Amino acid sequence: MPAPSVTTETALKSCIHRTNVTQAPEPYRGKVRDVYPLSDDVLGIVVTDRISAFDYIMRQPIPFKGQILNQLSTFGFQRVEDLVDTHVIDTPHPNVTIARKARPLPVEVVLRGFLAGHAWRVYNSGERSISGAPMPEGMVQNQAFETPILTPATKAQEGHDEDISEKEILRQNLIAPDVWEEIKATAFRLFERGQHIARKQGLYLVDTKYEFGLYQGRPILIDEVHTTDSSRFFYADGYEERLRKGEPQKQLSKEFLREWLMWRGFQGQEGQTLPDLSDELRMDIFHRYSELFELLT
């Protein structure tokens, strides 16, 4: 977290956009993380200040985002250790996680407790199912589902992730049936734990994604858990009144960045121009990440 003496100008100029580690192999560069192979079984993961939306990396990074995200994820992993094995070995630096090297499974396990974000856009288009999961008639935006729904998505190497049903996951042999059943059951337990932690802090965990990998033949939780990048949170205070009035929910997530981009005509589609983030918006995003970190931890 930034010290009070750090000026906005200094913060904006001190972002970590790309890393290079001397005498280390060239890393795999994801949307947010630079991943260095340290051995056959161990990775060094540097969480940068990059931010993405609609599967595109914004040109301008966000001050301190990497260390907030990494520490928030560490907090989340520590609180689910009794539910699942994770990839975390150590967090020796605010931006760095030392992790077990797992073989990532090609499906994101998405849990949704509310009709929001992508699910709402699908619902509002007239569809009544997402990834094979039915959505009841008569719902309104941001309304809670009676029980959380599972809406998996494929992890695209390029372009957009795509919704996929459990039936298709198994038909395409993307994940072995026994492994899928295990990670599905684990995901619902993780979501219940995440909801409980958030509710104690005056928040609703709206939706989230979990990523799993195989380590020594068994599935473990990788990537991140219950962070601003992987999850959406609503403020519980005033939720019912805003829902009744049809007003937008006060939330902590990247949805506001997606909405900002959509308002400027960008949804990651061919022919659209990625807009630049203003310094004011970059600092606003930092404050939102900082607020969630402080609230949850």
In tens, the pLDDT along 146-183 reads 999 999 999 765 556 799 999 999 999 999 999 999 99
The dihedral over CA atoms of 282, 285, 286, 290, expressed in degrees to the nearest 10, equals: 170
Model pLDDT for residues 194-208, shown as the tens digit of each residue: 999 999 999 999 999
User: Counting runs of H as helices and runs of E as strands, what totals does the chain give?
Assistant: 8, 18
What confidence tens digit (pLDDT) does each residue in 85-103 have?
999 999 999 999 999 999 9
Selection from 166, 222, 167 nearest residue 190 by Cα: 222
Please state the rounded mean pLDDT for residues 221-227: 96
Residue-wise pLDDT for 31-59, tens only, equals 999 999 999 999 999 999 999 998 899 99
Q: Which two tokens stand for residue 9?
A: 């100008």
As a whole number of angstroms, the distance between CA 251 and CA 268 comes to 23
Per-residue pLDDT tens over the stretch 107-132 = 999 999 999 999 999 999 999 999 99
Between these two residues, 156 and 260, which has the higher pLDDT value? Answer: 260
Q: Name the percent of the chain lying above pLDDT 70.
A: 97
Convert the pLDDT of each residue in 261-286 to its tens digit. 999 999 999 899 999 999 999 999 99
b (16+ CB within 10 A) / e for 194-233:
bbebbeeeebbbbbbbbbbbbbeeebbbbbbbbbbbbbbb
With contact defined as beta carbons under 8 Å apart, do 152 and 169 qualify?
A: yes
pLDDT of residue 159: 52
Average pLDDT over residues 218-234: 95
| Cα distances (angstroms) measured from residue 258 to each of 51, 205, 233 | 11, 18, 15
What pLDDT does 253 receive? Answer: 83
Name, in order, each residue with C-beta under 8 angstroms of 82's C-beta and a sequence gap of 6 or more.
none
CA distance 13 to 11: 5
Mapped onto helix, strand or coil, the DSSP state of residue 281 is: helix
pLDDT (average), residues 67-77:
96
Q: Would you list the DSSP string of 172-229?
A: TTSS-HHHHHHHHHHHHHHHHHHHHHHHHTTEEEEEEEEEEEEETTEEEEES-SS-TT
Question: In a 10 Å sphere around its CB, with 0-12 CB exposed, 13-18 middle and 19+ buried, how is residue 87 labelled?
Answer: buried
Residue 2 confidence class, pLDDT cut points 50, 70, 90: very low
Which residue type is seen at 129?
S
Q: Report the mean per-residue pLDDT for the chain.
A: 94
pLDDT at 23 over 50: yes
Provide the residue type at 56 as one letter: Y
The whole-number pLDDT of residue 17 equals 95
**pLDDT of 3 higher than 70:** no
**166 phi and psi angles, rounded to 5 deg:** -60, -40
